Amino acid sequence: MATSATAGNQSNSFISGQDYIGFDFDDDDGEEQTPHGAVDERGVGRRKDVNGRHTSTAGPSNGPGTLAGAQRNGASRDRVRGDRRRSPPALGPGRIQPQSRRRTFEEMAMDDGLTKRERMRSMARATPWALDVDWDSCWHPTEMLHRELEAFERWISPTSWEHDCRAMVIQLIRNAICSQWRDAEVLSFGSHDTRLYMPEGDIDLVVISRSMENEHRTRTLNKIAALLRRANLVVDLAVISKAKVPIVKFTCVHAKYKVDISINQSNGLAAAKWVSAWLRKQPSLRPLILAVKLLLNQRGMSEVFNGGLGSYSVICLVISHLQMHPKVQRGELDPAKNLGVLLLEFLELYGKTFNYHTVGISVRGQGHYFEKKRHAFVSTGKPYMLAIEDPLDASNDISRGTFQIQAVRLAMKGAFDILSGALCQRANVMSDPNAQDGAQHAPFDEDDEARAALMQNAAVGAPVSHSHSLLGNIFGISHETTRAREKVSGDEEAHRNRKCD
């Protein structure tokens, strides 16, 4: 991770690990070049600073997360205030501005990709997992972040009762469908099988049936929809027949779970088995995947049909991050003991330094990067699109539907700036017990100053977050979600009491 020479040892006190840079196979690409960086076969480059230390070859940033970007945004706002005309409403990342001109990244507000309404909602979010962290025993900010990620995983993961409730809903749906198609199998896949779903996450089901193969798919989906409606199992039901994978989409009346049903799409079952095998092999993937999913989910960037980054793509990105991390591969960094560092470097890699224009990602075998042009993964007119090779089908790009990748990238960049600023301030407080919440923190450089401002803005109006939480600077849990989980927990308690009686 790139740091300024003026940051000194204090800046490096919480940042460790091999630096990443943007990868470039094409000299004609519009990305900034680094002619003096030594590049190895994996595309990782380093250069020495004035003190002889290796640093990232990524150039200085003057985008929205930096002071220079803040100055440009401030000047732009001053011009708007001087204009007597009514200002247009603020638009989200990647939206079209008046005069049909798309904003650049430098023109986007320093708001971590959130609209004003989303920012207000985020202020009402809490970090209940932070209560289970022994903060006083932590000697280092990255140790705090590591332990908080462990506590976050424990809290956000479904309990056995919550998972059983979903299984009961699936069984009700299975009974209804099998009453009409005797040869049908109704199977779950995706996040439900891997238990990587959010508390209010969707349930993905597939119906495997030979008899359905002889029917028109849209007609079959409509039959399933009518059947579920007659069984009084659904609300907000819709048949999405024009999608690449047509589905029946609805909310179940029981527990209000959102459900997607497809027909004879067995590739999702194989993908779920592949992910489960990886989770058994590398348990440290789970907290990182869950953290990234929640980060994107709360910004409306987790649904592929909206152009967001789907769960399968997030999983592959996290796996690739560990596969391509030099210190992890050399055995110098144990993921199980360095979750905080790995999350921070993940956000930096995919938010700031990865070369989306020319490089694709593969997690097959030991994992590698590839040139997008050679795999025909380049999107016409959209060279910035993310390209991830399907680990089960090398010809398939699983991220091609993420057309809002620039907004996703901006959200990760903003999260990195805020989280790294929070770690800087925490390191300052820990080194000086008299400092109060980083009030005496002297910015190390312009980037650190901008990050500190971002972190301060993110924390305003969020008294419900635990005061020690670092993750609370980038995401939290809404009161609605907390109440929903408490209700399910209450149902479990009532069920146990009835059994005792």
| pLDDT, position 225 | 97
User: What CATH class is the domain 160-266?
Assistant: alpha beta
| Cα separation values, 185 from 173, 231, 348, 396, 403, Å | 11, 18, 43, 26, 33
**Residue at 489: amino acid letter:** S
- Helices of type H across 39-130: 67-82, 116-123
Question: Which residue in the block uniquely carries the two structure tokens 């097959």?
Answer: 364
Tell me which residue of 495, 500, 501, 497 sits closest to 168, measured CA to CA: 495
237 membership: H or E segment, kind and range: strand 234-240
Strand partners, 186: 207
As a whole-number percent, the residues of the chain with pLDDT over 90 amount to 56
Q: What is the mean pLDDT of residues 381-400?
A: 95
As a whole-number percent, the residues of the chain with pLDDT over 70 amount to 66
How far apart CA 158 and CA 168 sit, in angstroms, is 15
The answer to whether the beta carbons of residues 485 and 199 sit under 8 Å apart is yes
Q: What is the mean pLDDT of residues 100-116?
A: 49
Cβ contacts of 66 within 8 Å, gap of 6 or more? 60, 446, 447, 450
How far apart CA 265 and CA 189 sit, in angstroms, is 10
The rounded mean pLDDT for the chain is 78
Tell me the pLDDT tens digit for each residue of 417-447: 999 999 999 999 888 766 554 444 444 455 5
Dig out the tokens for 293 from the structure: 């999913």
Q: What is the mean pLDDT of residues 199-206?
A: 93
**Phi and psi angles of residue 394, each rounded to the nearest 5 degrees, phi first:** -65, -20
Dig out the tokens for 443 from the structure: 């910015």
| pLDDT, position 136 | 92
474 membership: H or E segment, kind and range: none
CATH topology agreement for domains 115-157+282-501 and 160-266 = no
> Higher confidence at residue 400 or residue 500?
400
| pLDDT, position 447 | 55
Confidence of residue 118 (pLDDT cuts 50, 70, 90): low
Dig out the tokens for 324 from the structure: 């391509």
415 membership: H or E segment, kind and range: helix 405-431
pTM beyond 0.85, yes or no: no
Please check the confidence at residue 169 and state whether its pLDDT lies above 90.
yes
Strand partners, 359: 371
How far apart CA 256 and CA 200 sit, in angstroms, is 9
SS3 label, residue 241: coil
**Phi and psi angles of residue 245, each rounded to the nearest 5 degrees, phi first:** -115, 100
> Higher confidence at residue 410 or residue 68?
410
| Cα separation values, 58 from 35, 46, 353, Å | 11, 9, 7
DSSP β-ladder status, 203-208 and 258-263? parallel
Where are the chain's structural domains?
115-157+282-501, 160-266
CA 335 to chain centre: 18
> Higher confidence at residue 375 or residue 166?
166
CATH number given to 115-157+282-501:
1.10.1410.10
How far apart CA 481 and CA 479 sit, in angstroms, is 5
| pLDDT, position 246 | 93
> Higher confidence at residue 453 or residue 61?
453
Please check the confidence at residue 203 and state whether its pLDDT lies above 70.
yes
Q: What is the mean pLDDT of residues 105-117?
A: 50
CA dihedral 124, 407, 240, 389 (to 10 degrees): -120
Tell me the pLDDT tens digit for each residue of 296-328: 999 999 988 889 999 999 999 999 999 999 999
Extended beta strands in 304-410, E state = 359-362, 368-371, 389-390, 393-397
Please check the confidence at residue 135 and state whether its pLDDT lies above 60.
yes
